[in-house]
Structures are given as structure tokens and as C-alpha cells.
Structure 1
Amino acid sequence: MTTLGNSNFDDESAADFLAEFDEAPGEVALLEALAPAADAAQDDEYLEAEVAGPALAAAEIVAALAGQPFPNFPAMLLRKLENLDISDLEELQALAAQAVRAVARDSEPRAQAAGSSTLNDWLNEQQALLKRLA
């Protein structure tokens, strides 16, 4: 797996999403990655990595679309986002924030961070993402 220097892009399922997004970038791809995690938030469901990883990666992309990419956001991906047509960025930001909160509350990535004693750093990273989505 290739890592991009940000743990929200480091997850294998996030990397798979990014590869798919690179081939077919668009609002639909972002919605498909965010909606399952956002829906799970309403039911207080535990999120497996296969749902949580793409949701976090998609949320990072939404933050970049809103002009708030993380410092080492891949330049090639950022250029690709310049021409992306988004129907309602504010609605997408709200969906992304809901997904991030769900992943931060109860998910496999959270459990992995807790198991490796990096939970506080991981939670801080998610809080920073939520601020960039606001």
C-alpha cells in the first residue's frame, strides 16, 4: 500500500478509494463514500475499515474542495479537484462532517488507533478535519 503522509489517506481502504476516485473523480464518488458512514451515524453503528477509510479520504477531498486541504495534500489530486463540478458544496461538507463524527465515535480505525496508543493523535486529526469542513 502506498501512503501519502496523512493517516486519513494511509488506510488501505482509503487508498483503494483514492485510486478509484483518481480514475473517475466526481461528486457521485464522494457521495458513495460518505453516505454509508453518515447513515451509520444515525443508528450508532460500528464502522468497519471498508466503510470508514473511504469516508475519511472523501471527507479530506471535500475539505480540499472547500479550500481547506491538509498541508501535505497531494498536488496532483488538488489539481484534479480544480475542475470538479459540485452541485452543493455546503451540503457535501455537512455530509462529510457527519461521516467523520461517526468514524471518530465508533469504528475500526478508532479501535486500531486505541490499540496502538495513538488514539489522542488520531482524534485530534479528526477534529482538525472537522474544523476544515466547517
Structure 2
Amino acid sequence: MSTLGNSNFDDDSAADFLADFTEAPGEVALLEALAPAADAAEDQEYLEAEVAGPAMAAAEIVAALAGQPFAGFPAGLLQQLQQLDISDLEELQELATQAVTAVAQDSELRAQAAEGSTLNDWLTQQQELLKRLA
């Protein structure tokens, strides 16, 4: 069972991605986390937490790279991101937007939020993320 919390880093699979990314940060890791969710959006597929969680964490990182981190974004990670060499931030933002949209529409994370009676708050959080990615 996943531990859906107050940020897109709180899901178990997102936390695992974040730990791996912190040890080996890079554009490829972000692309690998975002692409499966973005592809699922095109195919209108249901996203399991193992795909959705890392995609949401990666989208939060992309928003931070674009200068729009959420209020509780880890300070140490922000410092790490300043050292990253990103070849095409706009492409990452577009991919992240597609991934967030797919997760918000039909995913295990959405279902967990609905089960926990926090769906409206969760959807509001994702809309805010989409604005930060724009």
C-alpha cells in the first residue's frame, strides 16, 4: 500500500525515485520517469503507482528546474539542481505536463486520493503543478 501524503514526493514509488535521483541526478533519469506516463496519456492507459509516482516526482523536479518549486521542496535537492546541465528544459516541461495530466486523469494515485477522501485537494495540487510547469 502506498503512503499518499501532502506532496508528490510522498508516494512510496516517488520517494524511491527521489532517493535514486538524489544519488545520481540527471536529465536521463527525469526522461525515464516521465516518458512512460506521458506515453500512457497518448494511449489513455491506467497508470499504476510504480509509474505514476516517479513521474509526479520528476514533474516536481522539472518545475523546480524551471524556477517554480513547491513551498516544501527539499533545499538540498534545489542546490543539486543548480548543478544540472539540462539540454532542453522546454521539452522536459512538455513531457512533465503530459505525465501529470495522465496521472491526474486515470491512475492508482488518483484512486488512492479518492479512497482517502482527499481527491479534491489532490487534484488542486496537480492543477497547481501544471501551472508551475507552464
Band the TM-score falls in, shorter-chain normalisation:
over 0.9
- State how many pairs are aligned: 131
> Structure 1 residue 85 and structure 2 residue 71: aligned?
no
- Cα deviation for residue 7 of structure 1 reads 2.3
Measured in 2, the distance between the counterparts of 1:14 and 1:114 equals 18
Matched with 1:23 is 23
Measured in 2, the distance between the counterparts of 1:7 and 1:75 equals 15
Matched with 1:37 is 37
> Structure 1 residue 107 and structure 2 residue 115: aligned?
no
Matched with 1:130 is 130
1:4-53 residue CA offsets vs partner (Å, 9 max, x unmatched): x7420000000000011011100000000000000000000000000000
1:87-121 residue CA offsets vs partner (Å, 9 max, x unmatched): 00011000000000000000000000011110000
Measured in 2, the distance between the counterparts of 1:26 and 1:6 equals 25
% of aligned pairs identical?
Answer: 82
Measured in 2, the distance between the counterparts of 1:24 and 1:73 equals 18
Measured in 1, the distance between the counterparts of 2:71 and 2:22 equals 20
Measured in 1, the distance between the counterparts of 2:100 and 2:76 equals 24
Q: Which structure 1 segments of 5+ residues have no match?
A: none
Q: Which structure 2 segments of 5+ residues have no match?
A: none
Cα 1:132/1:33, change in 2 over 3 Å = same
Matched with 2:98 is 98
For normalisation by structure 1, the TM-score amounts to 0.96
AA at the equivalent of 1:16 = D
AA at the equivalent of 1:89 = L
For normalisation by structure 2, the TM-score amounts to 0.96
